[in-house]
A and B are shown apart, each in its own frame.
Chain A
Amino acid sequence: MHELSIALNIVELAGEEAARGGYTRVQAVHLRLGRAAGVVKEALASAYELAREGSAVAESELKIEEVAVQIFCPRCKVERPAVSDVEPQCADCGTSSTQVVAGRELEVYALEVLE
């Protein structure tokens, strides 16, 4: 159940950011979730419903934006999508890469506040 730990972290972080900005009503928490972050979107969404209860962001909805895996292709010399979420190979030329530049995000991106 590591999604629950992650959800609790999100609630805590969003609460801190809301307090810092003086926002009393947070309508939604926007999350950027990499497809290779090792977190299951559906499991996280239901864990969030538990985690937010009684918190400073109890009314908030979790909006998850998934981020596809991108690599830096050593052959094409540019950032390219990976062939799959699992394999860091260039979707264009198939070359393997050790540099994943996107797809592991676990980031609270924005708060949707009412003021």
Chain B
Amino acid sequence: MSDAILSLKNVATDIAQYHILHDVSFDVPRGKVTMLLGRNGAGKTTTLRTVMGLWAARAGQVMFNGEDIAAQPPARIARKGLAIVPEDMGIFGDLTVQENMALAAVSGPIAADRLELIFTAFPPLKTFWDMPAGNLSGGQKQMLAVARAMAEDRQLYLIDEPSKGLAPAIVSTLVWAMKSLKGAGASILMVEQNFAMARALGDYAAVMDDGRIVWTGTMDELANDTALQENLMGLSMEVA
């Protein structure tokens, strides 16, 4: 692909003595949403964590804007313009919602209009602004995790299963939030099991299995080809 914001080249990652990622190569096109799909345990989360520097790649390159960030510490990677919404959400439960948001805004207080936008999308965050985030419900924590990534402009968002445990009404809010990120010019690499959401958001897709990329292409191709889905992921995803 000509303009990839992120490009993994033959990335291999070990966790302790286990080889988890074997030879992962794919591109994330700039300004687009790329869905990372695959069975449970395929290595999707590990891939996102490797990009963020939370696991160290044993081999290969992670090219971000043309620079290999594979050996860099996570804080430095974040400062280059990446943000992660981790699978476990990474909420600071002892801190208030407000403090969680304040931390997410690395370079200064959150702009008022941005905060307004976040509150409009996720009203519970406003309601519980001064409460310890640990008291939020699971779905509200997920909202906070996404809102945190939205606190500042980032170039690339790594988002791990944001719809997990969310009611359908909120999933649509999430879709809207992602679209607004994309609309602002950001690129997104997202793991998502909810196919309606994947379909609604994805421009491109990469499918993993057993620590390898087994297919890449456009979301439309994948969505329209049930046989391919069966073949790649062992399930066919009903097109909503």
**Is B truly associated with A?**
no
Residues of B within 8 A of A (CB): none
Residues of A within 8 A of B (CB): none
